[in-house]
Amino acid sequence: MRKMYDWLDERLDLSPIWRDIADHEVPEHVNPAHHFSAFVYCFGGLTFFTVVIQILSGMFLVMYYTPDIVNAFNSVKYLQTEVAFGYIVRGMHHWGASVVIVMLFLHTLRVFFTGSYKKPREMNWVVGVLLFATILGLGFTGYLLPWDNKAYFATKVGLEIAETVPLVGPYIKTFLAGGDIVGASTLTRFFAIHVFFLPGILLALLAAHFILIRRQGISGPL
């Protein structure tokens, strides 16, 4: 191992790359080993960790999942009951979806109560709010995909909420539903948004979030 790493490092100069990513001192006021209450600083990392789980388990789900009104429910049922460990992979995604949002909320509270959004970090708060919206969007669009009763009616209600937006509401609703009813084109549309558009946006926002943290450093103690 050591030898292989050294061989590659000599040629590719790897060490500076991971040093830059991982080799930083943890300030005392964010280290739970010094002050236990500093565990609140872990929520950002935990949110990222759960997002990684969502992306991985999601990639495995798509191996069997079929975004089509005739087959969606049966494909989920098949992967859940007939594929080895399907209930675990789906379980990770299903429960992880809630855990992501809880972690994200706790992280937001931490940033709020430590006042970390203040100058010069205002723009990272904005990026964070966009991340929040993106992840809620992933939760909303993912919820339709199993195409069971709960999924169907939750989406109907969600679309009717969207419809109450002044002036443009009805247009938003038709655009999201891909037509007048929650049906075949709603499912394919939500699938595309859930699996391609929002994860792409999510990764771009996360990159911005982390680059800003690296530049501005972590905020000081209270």
Partner 1 sequence: MSDHTLDHGGAKWRENAGRQENVNEITRRQFLTYTLMGTGGFMVSTLLVPSVRYAVDPLLKKGEEEPYVPVADVSEIGSEPKRFEFTLKVDDAWVKNQQTTYSAWVYKQGSDFVALSPVCKHLGCTVSWNTSPQHPEMFYCPCHGGLYTKDGINVPGTPPRAPLDMYDYKVENGKLYLGPLIQRT
The residues binding ligand HEM (CB under 6 A) are 51, 54-55, 58-59, 61-62, 65, 76, 90, 93-94, 97, 100, 135, 138-139, 142-143, 145-146, 194-195, 199
Binding mask 41-60 for partner 1 (x = CB under 8 A): ------------x--xx--x
User: Strands, E, within 14-161: which ranges?
Assistant: none
Partner whose binding site includes residue 142, from ligand HEM, partner 1, none (CB under 5 to 8 Å by kind)? ligand HEM
120 cis-preceded (ω within 30 degrees of 0): yes
Segment holding 142, helix H or strand E: helix 122-144
- Which of partner 1, ligand HEM, none interacts with 77 (beta carbon under 5 to 8 A by kind)? partner 1
Q: Which of 9, 29, 40, 78 binds partner 1 (CB under 8 A)?
A: 78
- Strand, coil or helix: what is 121? coil
From residue 6 to residue 45, what is the string marking binding to partner 1 with x (rule CB under 8 A)? ----------------------------------------
Asked if 128 and 108 touch (Cβ cutoff 8 Å), the reply is yes
83 binds, among partner 1, ligand HEM, none (CB under 5 to 8 A by kind): partner 1
> Letter for the amino acid at 119?
K
Tokens of 33: 């080993």
CA torsion through residues 54, 60, 66, 72, sign: negative
